[in-house]
């Protein structure tokens, strides 16, 4: 049974209920070549994971190009089945960008447009479904960003725009100049601030779905041994048994999906079993007390 795509906002694209995060597909992780990426793309699409999340900097500016080679070999029919999301705005100091002398943010009009055009070339596509500013910059001029976005939209190179890691006030500021389709933020039991700082409230009121990176807590959850993490893992393991001996990843995703904002988790794993488990997470609805049990275990105290 296929999983229907969902509109991310009134004017934004329809995305798959789970997005595949590509940050570790390349040099920053398993370092797949284009042939292996072809396999991963096919596998994700077979699971109804049709949204692929990129950023220009991934793999020190190399992962987009490898993915694009894979996509080019798969053909236009596969591109028509997927949604491509990428980000710009972070300038890394790396041998592939010798002009960058230090890590910084650049949200100037020319840099945004140039970044989008380079990503289009790297990904072997004529358009981006969603283009995000990767981080807010203290020097951001919202009128200049709006000008860049408008030009990219009018040229047909980008269909929708959003941001990543923006605070509610930063989102409101830019949204007053140009319509934003999403805010991609970090959220998991060890980082639940989005529930309390207005991020999800703002998006829920606007009918806008957030994208969520690191929805499982990444290495913090799976590798660290602090008291609160061990307590959280114990709670999640008990619930995994309660809900049918599913994986811990299923419970963590179900916890995020339980929130009415309708978040789209960006799952960064390269393990096929975990990708397959996302279907179980979509089918698992945590009881309210179980949801709060996870929150309590992560924070170390009951709610006030």
The tens-digit pLDDT sequence of the chain (304 residues) is 688 999 999 999 999 999 999 999 999 999 999 999 999 999 999 999 999 999 999 999 999 999 999 999 999 899 999 999 999 999 999 999 999 999 999 999 999 999 999 999 999 999 999 999 999 999 999 999 999 999 999 999 999 999 999 999 999 999 999 999 999 999 999 999 999 999 999 999 999 999 999 999 988 898 888 888 999 999 999 999 999 999 999 999 999 999 999 999 999 999 999 999 999 999 999 999 999 999 999 999 999 9
Distances (CA, A) of 6 to 1, 3, 136, 168, 189: 16, 9, 26, 23, 24
Element (H, E) at 77: helix 76-79
Q: Please confirm, yes or no, whether 32 is among the known catalytic residues.
A: no
Q: Are 25 and 37 in contact (CB under 8 A)?
A: yes
Burial 249-282 (b: 16+ CB within 10 A, else e): bbbbbbbbbbbebbbbbbbbbbeeebbebbbbbb
Beta bridge partners of residue 128, listed in sequence order: 158
Domain 6-181 - what CATH class?
alpha beta
Burial 159-196 (b: 16+ CB within 10 A, else e): bbbbbbbbbbebbeebbebbbbbbbbbbbbbbebebee
Q: What is the pLDDT of residues 221-265, one digit of tens each?
A: 988 888 889 999 999 999 999 999 999 999 999 999 999 999 999
Please give the Cα distance from 100 to 93 (Å, whole number): 5
3-state DSSP call for residue 275?
helix
Residue with tokens 């053909």: 75
Which pLDDT score, from 0 to 100, does residue 2 have? 83
Which pLDDT score, from 0 to 100, does residue 1 have? 67
How would DSSP label each residue in 46-73?
HTT--EEE--TTHHHHTHHHHHHHHHHH
3-state DSSP call for residue 195?
helix
Residue with tokens 């989005």: 194
Predicted TM-score (pTM) of this structure? 0.97
Burial 29-57 (b: 16+ CB within 10 A, else e): beebebeebbebbeebbebbbbbbbbbbb
Residues 6+ apart with CB under 8 A from 152: 112, 113, 116, 131, 158, 161
Residues 6+ apart with CB under 8 A from 267: 18, 19, 20, 21, 49, 215, 216, 253, 274, 275, 278
Domain boundaries, the chain: 6-181
C-alpha triplet 127, 116, 38: angle, nearest 5°: 60
Active-site choice (32, 58, 61, 243): 58
């Amino acid at each position: 049974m296929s999983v229907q795509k969902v509109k991310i906002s009134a004017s934004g694209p329809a995305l798959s209920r789970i997005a595949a995060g590509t940050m570790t597909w390349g040099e920053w992780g398993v370092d797949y070549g284009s042939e292996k990426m072809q396999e991963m793309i096919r596998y994700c699409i077979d699971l109804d994971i049709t949204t692929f999340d990129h950023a220009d900097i991934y793999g020190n500016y190399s992962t987009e190009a490898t993915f694009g080679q894979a996509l080019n070999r798969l053909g236009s029919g596969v591109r028509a089945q997927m949604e491509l999301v990428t980000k710009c705005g972070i300038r890394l100091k790396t041998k592939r960008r010798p002009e960058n002398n230090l890590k910084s943010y650049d949200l100037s009009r020319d840099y945004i447009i140039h970044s989008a055009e380079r990503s289009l070339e790297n990904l072997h596509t004529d358009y981006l479904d969603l283009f995000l500013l990767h981080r807010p910059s203290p020097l951001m001029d919202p009128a200049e960003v709006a000008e860049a976005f408008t030009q990219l939209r009018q040229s047909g190179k980008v269909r929708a725009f959003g941001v990543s890691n923006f605070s509610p006030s930063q989102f409101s500021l830019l949204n007053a100049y140009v319509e934003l389709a999403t805010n991609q933020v970090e959220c998991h039991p060890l980082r639940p601030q989005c529930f309390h700082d207005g991020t999800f409230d703002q998006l829920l009121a606007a009918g806008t779905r957030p994208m969520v990176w690191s929805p499982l807590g990444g290495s913090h959850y799976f590798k660290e041994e602090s008291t609160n993490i061990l307590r959280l893992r114990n709670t999640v393991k008990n619930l995994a048994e309660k809900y049918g001996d599913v994986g811990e990843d299923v419970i963590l995703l179900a916890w995020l999906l339980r929130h009415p904002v309708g978040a789209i988790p960006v799952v960064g794993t390269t393990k096929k079993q975990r990708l397959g488990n996302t279907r179980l997470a979509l089918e698992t609805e945590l009881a309210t007390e179980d949801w709060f049990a996870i929150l309590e275990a992560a924070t170390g105290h009951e709610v006030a």
